[in-house]
Amino acid sequence: MTERRITISLNWRPAGAPARRHDDFAEVPYTRPQPQRRAAPEHPDTGDIDQRLQNWGRWANSDYRRINRTATAVFCDRLRREAGLQESHSDERRRLDDDDAYRIELGLHPLRGTQKRILRLHYVDGRAWQAIMRVLQFPIRRDLFDSLLLNAQVAIESVVDNHMEIQR
């Protein structure tokens, strides 16, 4: 813009340039965009935390930790054991890692409600994935359940591991 403009108009153009007309634009044929596959997201290895959560689930379900146990149920269990109708689970009790299970129990507090509930329903209550999705009031889709469980596993692992580093 080297020339001075005195008036403002919609049809202004540099000196010597022809006026553009609306039909001067070239038409380009439309090509439908081709869908491109996204790369599969990398899932973190959850084998270790899965074993730890299974240990926590067994720990939370052990006889002395059950909340809804009545005196009658405890008495009946004792009679069954003494009569030899029910095996004693003392050997399983020894295989539990109480300290790690307690760390996971404490690590649940900072998690969101959905993450806590999905971990408890899956590992402690042992519910099927369809029932868990109904309880959480989500659409009953396996891929959605898998992603929710994976997010909860990653969250609890990061909380527990960060808590362990702070204690050291």
Which residues fall within 8 angstroms of residue 60, CB to CB, at 6 or more apart? 101, 105, 120, 123, 124
Decide which of 1.10.3470, 1.25.40, 2.40.160, 1.10.10 is the CATH code for 47-60+95-167.
Answer: 1.10.10
Could you state, in order of their start, the residue ranges of all structural domains in the chain? 47-60+95-167
Q: What is the pLDDT of residues 121-131, one digit of tens each?
A: 999 988 999 99
CA separation for the pair 5, 110 (Å, rounded): 66
Band of residue 10 on the pLDDT scale cut at 50, 70, 90: low
Instruction: Give mean pLDDT, residues 106-124.
Output: 92
- In this structure, are residues 123 and 53 in contact, taking their beta carbons and an 8 Å threshold? yes
- In this structure, are residues 69 and 38 in contact, taking their beta carbons and an 8 Å threshold? no
The pLDDT, as a whole number, for residue 132 is 95
What SS3 class is residue 140?
coil
Per-residue 3-state assignment (H helix, E strand, C coil) for 42-96: CCCCCHHHHHHHHHHHHHHHCHHHCCCCCHHHHHHHHHHHHHCCCCCCHHHHHHC
